[in-house]
A = this chain, B = another copy of it.
Amino acid sequence: MPDTARAARPGALHPDRALPADPVTRPVARRILEATRDLPIVSMHGHVDAGVLARDEPFGDPASLLVVPDHYLVRMLVSQGVPHEALGLARRDGGPVEQDPRAIWRTFAAHWHLFRGTPTRFWLDHVLVEVLGVTQRLSAETADAAYDTIAARLVEPGFRPLSLLDRFGIEVLATTDPATADLADHAALADRGWGERVVPTFRPDAVLHVDRPGWAADVARLGELAGVDIGSYQGFVRALELRRQAFVAAGARATDHGHVRADTTPMTLHEASAVFDAALRGDVDAAAARAFSAHMLFEMARMSTQDGLVMQLHPGALRDHDPGIAARYGHDVGYDVPVVTEYVHALRPLLTAFGHHPGMRLVLFTLDEDTFTRELAPLAGVYPAVRLGAPWWFLDTPDGMRRFREAVTDTAGFANTTGFVDDTRAFLSIPARHDLARRVDAGFLARLVVEHRLDLDEALETAVDLAYRIPRDAYARRAEVLP
């Protein structure tokens, strides 16, 4: 047995990482992976801030770049007793939190062992070694040296955000933007010739959930931007249509929708108007708000058949499981937890209406892998409008992505999936995430080859499809691909 112990760690990523172990499958996987190595990255769903790219300023310190904003990291450290304050998470009450980035980094590094076996570890190893040149394993002892290495790297000119887009080989990057975004950052990027490579995504959640605190203000802002009186439901719908057109003009290819349920049951105009009017009066209950948001998903689909924006649906996350944490530290700090998600009945209204419409494309994501074989693959395997998004969030892992392929390929094949989307706000980890996805797909395809379920030439072609052609085509605005 080769000794791969600590002393032998070469400070470089192993070329066979995340490929299947058995000696028959691995060389086939390696060959398939090779076919995708030089392909550009198509990153059609992510959460990188467009402003970061538009300003193109150097990143901050190692902690505020890599630790504080990464909810994967924060939640693991918190789960083992590290206080949020020690990680520098700002408190809403202004209470004291750790301000020294080096101290935050040391806390993180001292708990590196917690990430053993996790995708966070896999991604960070890639970021540290390949992107930042840190070759020692993180620990309390190596924390300072790693910090210094990273800090020095971050001020190099080649580490500005737009330079990294080139270095990472990112052909196109989609950001996620609220319906009330003024798109100024995208305009600035377009002015400088980056308009084709950095595109916005229309995310109207904030204005579709009418019982959200701040909803009325967001809707007012929506009306302003659209130049429409949103005093009525019809005005609201019109404003949404106009904002979608503005996003299309700014290069958007898709919309994105985060709802707890996938329900798409439409209301009558009368019903929808009544809820909208009640919401404007601040007099709407949770059930009506839920029904309205389901109705608006149906409306978003209807609009997609007109403007060709690809519709992405991300249901099934219960946000802020502990409301006290949200009150103290805000949202997106690791307390969102998946719940059972139903698609078959929920999507029936939308799919019956638009499932065969040539202008419709619906990309479905899930946090509930129980639905892979039971619901999602059967739906994607028959409705022309449906594609399956990549395994998402808690499922975006070596084993999660493998299970996804093993589960959905039988019924949906490869062509009814979208290929990989990285869904990350951690800019430096984009290459790591695409690299891992390509490795997992190479391993899956290799198994099909060595089990004589697929010929090698087909596997090689499919690997390129999954890494490049399919995501590029899946997110082509429908108006572009149809006459």
Seen from chain A, the residues whose Cβ lies within 8 Å of a Cβ on chain B are: 1, 3-6, 9, 13-14, 16-25, 27-28, 31, 75-76, 78-81, 113-119, 121-122, 137, 318, 321-324, 334-335, 337-340, 342, 344-345, 348, 351-352, 355-356, 358, 367-370, 373-375, 377-384, 386, 394-395, 397-400, 405-407, 409-416, 447-458, 461-462
Contact = CB atoms under 8 A, between A and B. Distances in A.
B81 A384 contact: yes
How many copies of the polypeptide does the oligomer hold? 3
Contacts of A352: 321-324
Contacts of A113: 415, 458, 461
Contact of A25 (B21, B116, B321, B447): B21
A400 B368 CA distance: 18
23 contacts: A1-B27, A1-B28, A5-B457, A6-B457, A17-B452, A18-B453, A21-B24, A21-B25, A76-B382, A79-B412, A80-B416, A116-B414, A117-B410, A119-B410, A321-B352, A322-B355, A324-B352, A334-B382, A338-B373, A339-B345, A340-B342, A370-B370, A378-B394
B321 A351 contact: yes
A318 B378 CA distance: 11
A4 B379 CA distance: 33
Contacts of A121: 453-454
A451 B17 contact: yes
Given A342-B340, A344-B338, A456-B5, A406 B399 contact: yes
Given A339-B345, A398-B451, 11 more contacts: A5-B455, A6-B455, A6-B457, A17-B451, A22-B23, A75-B381, A79-B382, A79-B415, A318-B344, A370-B370, A399-B410
Nearest to A400: B410
Contacts of A344: 318, 321, 337-339
B4 A122 contact: no
Contacts of A1: 27-28, 31
A349 to B, nearest CB: 11
Nearest to A398: B453
Given A338-B374, A339-B345, A19 B76 contact: no
Given A355-B322, A373-B400, A410-B394, A378 B337 contact: yes
Nearest to A351: B322
Nearest to A358: B81
Contacts of A367: 374
Given A21-B25, A321-B351, A75 B337 contact: no
Contacts of A400: 373, 410
B378 A374 contact: no
| A27, A75, A115, A338 interface centre (most CB from chain B within 10 Å) | A338
Contacts of A5: 455-457
Nearest to A74: B382
B17 A453 contact: yes
| A114, A340, A410 interface centre (most CB from chain B within 10 Å) | A410
A114 B75 contact: no
A423 B121 CA distance: 32
